[in-house]
Structure 1
Amino acid sequence: MQGLLTRRSRSWLRVLRSLGQRKTGFMALFGFASGLPFALFLGTLYAWLSEAGVDLETMGVFSLIGLAYAFQFLWSPVLDRVNLPGLKRLGRRKQWIVPAQVLLGIILVTMAGLDPAASLGWFSLLAAIGAFASATQDIAINAWRIDIADEDAPIEILSTVYQMGFRLASLVGGALGLIIAARIGWPQTYLFMGAVLLVIGIAGLFAPDTLANRASGEQEEDRAALTRPGQLLPRVRNLALLAVGLLWAWALGTVGLFMARSMTALPENRPDPTAFTATYGPLIVVATIVLPALIAAWLVKLQRDGRHVVAAGQEPDGGNTVANHLYRALIMPLVEFVGRMEWSLVLILALVLTYRICDAIWGTFAYPFYLGELQYSNDEVAVASKFFGVGAIMLGLALGGWLLTVLGRMPTLTLGAVLAAATNLLYADLAVGGARMQAVSDATGFTWAVLQFPGGSERLARLMITIGMENLAVGIAGAAYVAWLSSIVAKGHSAVQYALLASLTLLVGTLGRGALGQMIERQGYYEVFLFVTWIGGLAIVLCILEWIREARAGRRAGIVAPDRAATD
């Protein structure tokens, strides 16, 4: 017992010490900067457009800006390999983070001076550029978190603080934004939010960072590395680059063409975003992730078998400089990841696809369930979901961050999967009347507490405690998941590898919504909640398998529990 208390005391000391680090403070600031434009462009913007009298069909075009977040991995290689002119001195990641934040601030301030109805073209263009800048900022911030993590500011704490900042910004830009706009107006609200991002961008100048790529020196070093004995011959590298380049070019061209048609065509000729995502989403995943991963596996096998490689004593041939640069940007992150993970990559991808799928899909159907199926009012849902629910998520994130220091990464990840799966059963009970959740609310005294406030009722208490318990689980699972995802990527390729894995979570949620919606129509919410519980059960099994894999990898490396599977 004394040993357990001592371990807990050390964990709290470690958390407090980490929270006092300069890196942790900037991580919270960057998390807020990441969540604020996401909430403004994909949430409250539609409320402003509605008040301005913009029709629903036109507003549907604005939903396209969400594709920038789903497909952000398509331009992530640029952030790993390219230095911005005149900004390299800021640092490898800050040279992208700070300009993106300043650009976002300028865009929001500019939008504040426009009338959406009278200047819809400019308004939509600014929103599209803002979403692109926001998604780019997210890539750089995620890579920054991974690059600067160390013993004083471990990845677990940084990941938790990042999500807390993101969630707080979602509340400020979402529910609080609506309240502010009702009192001072939308232009003034967006002007204020833009000023906040400008201030954060200026503050970001003082954040720590790793050194930027040393343009000429690094290229010479990489060129020399590619000519060493055992490295693949230029013709093999170029063949792989051609194949992957064509696949990525097709994906970029497909998304770009769809965006152009949607923004320029007449309303009756605009393509359907849902149909596009359902049809081309899987193809883009196959073209940009699955097939390149197979090509990378082929390259790894060739190199390990000693086939088509530079032989000892062979006259070095560095190949074309441009081709080498593109190879390092597109192919090397995949080769490194596949070579390090080997067959474990199948397990990792399966876990990425299933761990957060319920959360990714459910968000679309939450309000129809609360407002339509259960017949709650808008005010009741706002109180339960936006205010009480966000507080529960913040508490869950804090608890998850503490559990990461006490239990470790994989135990917390597995616990998060168990809790996330189990909370679906709470909603299943609500779908059939909520008798069990009402009993829990009554027994804990929560119903009595809610009844003390104006507008409080037993029904509201039942909804609040269900959302609260679910969001608590989401917070714990989210803290563990981002920490785990950050731990398995390599620092040298963090922008590409993390963006690829994170985008899979977004895309699978988008692709699964249509099927889930049809299932709700046919079988009802109760059966759907039972079904997603089974999906959560699969994630639990995969977590256990990944736990075993990491434990074995740790033993092979001669350590008890590796803090990072990634290498510099």
Structure 2
Amino acid sequence: MPSDASNSNGRSDRRSWSEAVTVYRHPRVLAMLFLGFSAGLPFLLVFSTLSAWLTEAGINRADIGYLSWLGITYSIKVFWAPVVDNLKLPGLTRLLGRRRSWMLVAQAGIAAGLFGLATSDPAMSLAPVIAFGFLVAFSSATQDVAIDAYRIEAVKKDLQGAMAATYQLGYRFGLLAAGAGALYMADFFTWFAAYTTMALLVGVGIVTVLIIHEPEINKDRLEVLKLPEVEAFLGGRPAQGGLAVAAWLYGAAVCPFVDFFRRNGRMALVILMLVAFYRISDITMGVMANPFYIDLGFTKSQIASVSKLYGLVMSLAGAFVGGVLVVRFGLLRPLFLGALLVAVTNLLFATLASLGPDLGFLVVTISADNLAGGLAGSVFIAYLSSLTSSSYTATQYALFSSLMTLPGKFIGGFSGEVVEALGYHSFFLYAAVLGIPAMLLVIWVGRLEVLRSARLESTAESA
């Protein structure tokens, strides 16, 4: 595995272990805890928690798999990210700023969708579930665009690993509430109570948005029509009427992609391949995780206690370690380690499928899976953040995060068919194999980074 190139992938000079750990005391790093919670809360409520509800309601596994395509909304947010990145919301933007105003509007949509899901009955009709689930997913994806832009703009690159880890910490607390919390409430009360409570918890994000400050970078951020590329596009002509609309669209939707390919050259396509393949394995596995636990014979309370509550502890440990590894070693080596661990842990699920409802081995499996997922998640977020330009933060990060989940969401939609045709044991082996391309692509990107650094050094010496 090649070593990380120093500046090209966002790595600063190597710090001591004590310095690496103290970055978590930065105020804006701590603030990401609450924004991470706000981002993580809706996800499981239209994903694995919803799958558990649908399983209990008697919906067949194939339909549950197809309903996971609600999550594709997260994977196509790049199409409206330019709007979030550039469009001012009347009144709200002047009051709160560009990033916070969009967060607040998105959170209102999430709360409305969750209240709607609470009043739905999937056993009677799936139509309301699909409609309200889409509202939650769309609003959540929009919130992600704004939060990701805030996270990248709020601190320098050498703190992005810690920002990502703290974000993951809050995100995992959100998952805990939407996973274990919702399952406990559904077990002891009703699904109505569970989803209503989740809707009320959206208030955590709303309060956070009202407390935090807008990143300073936005104070000096150029308007779209004043970007040098857009001024060149206008060619000295006044930005009026249809030409103004065309120039705005060019600056908001085209320039972010042109900028990325110009900065990365021939490496750009390889980087995008890595982004697309990195999370296929765990996303595909995640669709069938709760149906697997239920079909194996575990109760909802056992699933909540082990998979969600205890799993959170291991996820947080993994996210913390991932953040420290990025500060200590750079990005690419931890990125490879995360891809390897995520793929290998699927083999433990395959073993559990053969053993049956063994609670002890479930603990072992969840420990390894969540530790790997937390580490890989924080490292990968830091890597994606290092790829963005400050001029197009939200749009470029939305491109990466959309591409990150789209292949996994699409393939995951067929996971129910795979389980029904081959069984859970073969399904988890299949999920493990899906992780191999990610490891190979990390190695490829690492070698290209070394070659690029060598070329830059050679050019500097000759100059």
- For 2:282, give the aligned amino acid: D
Describe the shift of the 1:221–1:380 C-alpha distance in structure 2 as closer, same or farther (beyond 3 A).
closer
Describe the shift of the 1:412–1:492 C-alpha distance in structure 2 as closer, same or farther (beyond 3 A).
same
Tell me what 2:6 maps to: none
2: CA distance between counterparts of 1:414 and 1:427? Answer: 21
Cα root mean square deviation, aligned: 3.9
In the alignment, does 2:151 pair up with 1:145?
yes
Tell me what 1:463 maps to: 362
Tell me what 1:78 maps to: 83
Tell me what 2:8 maps to: none
Describe the shift of the 1:506–1:184 C-alpha distance in structure 2 as closer, same or farther (beyond 3 A).
same
- Cα offsets for 1:445-484 (capped at 9, x unmatched): xxxxxxxxxxxx9x32123212311221222111211111
- Cα offsets for 1:165-197 (capped at 9, x unmatched): 112111112221232355565555545433432
2: CA distance between counterparts of 1:472 and 1:167? Answer: 12
Tell me what 2:211 maps to: 206
2: CA distance between counterparts of 1:119 and 1:367? Answer: 21
2: CA distance between counterparts of 1:433 and 1:181? Answer: 27
Gapped runs of 5+ residues in structure 1?
A: 1-6, 235-309, 311-315, 435-456, 560-568
Give the alignment of 1:234-245 within 5 angstroms: none
Match of 2:276 among 353, 362, 370: 353
* Contact 1:396 1:476 (8 Å CA) reproduced: yes
2: CA distance between counterparts of 1:417 and 1:102? Answer: 35
1: CA distance between counterparts of 2:426 and 2:125? Answer: 46
2: CA distance between counterparts of 1:108 and 1:361? Answer: 24
1: CA distance between counterparts of 2:288 and 2:58? Answer: 24
In the alignment, does 2:44 pair up with 1:39?
yes
Give the alignment of 1:269-308 within 5 angstroms: none
1: CA distance between counterparts of 2:443 and 2:320? Answer: 23
Tell me what 1:562 maps to: none
Q: How many residues align?
A: 439
Higher relative contact order (CA 8 A, sep 6+): 2
Describe the shift of the 1:72–1:541 C-alpha distance in structure 2 as closer, same or farther (beyond 3 A).
same
* Contact 2:38 2:171 (8 Å CA) reproduced: yes
Tell me what 2:262 maps to: 339
- For 1:465, give the aligned amino acid: V
- Cα offsets for 1:230-285 (capped at 9, x unmatched): x56x6xxxxxxxxxxxxxxxxxxxxxxxxxxxxxxxxxxxxxxxxxxxxxxxxxxx
Tell me what 1:542 maps to: 441
Give the alignment of 1:478-493 within 5 angstroms: 478-493=377-392
In the alignment, does 2:373 pair up with 1:474?
yes
Local SS of the residue matching 1:93: helix
Match of 1:393 among 304, 315, 320: 315
Return the TM-score normalized by structure 2.
Answer: 0.80
Give the alignment of 1:103-502 within 5 angstroms: 103-105=109-111, 108=114, 127-150=133-156, 154-183=159-188, 189-210=194-215, 218-219=223-224, 221-222=226-227, 225-227=229-231, 231=232, 316-317=236-237, 320-367=243-290, 369-370=292-293, 372=295, 380-430=302-352, 459-502=358-401
* Contact 1:32 1:168 (8 Å CA) reproduced: yes
Gapped runs of 5+ residues in structure 2?
A: 1-12, 459-463
1: CA distance between counterparts of 2:128 and 2:205? Answer: 25
Identity of aligned residues (%): 34
Match of 1:101 among 98, 107, 132: 107
Return the TM-score normalized by structure 1.
Answer: 0.66
- For 2:307, give the aligned amino acid: S
* Most deviating of 26-35 and 41-50: 41-50
2: CA distance between counterparts of 1:139 and 1:36? Answer: 15
Q: Which has the larger radius of gyration?
A: 1
Local SS of the residue matching 2:211: coil
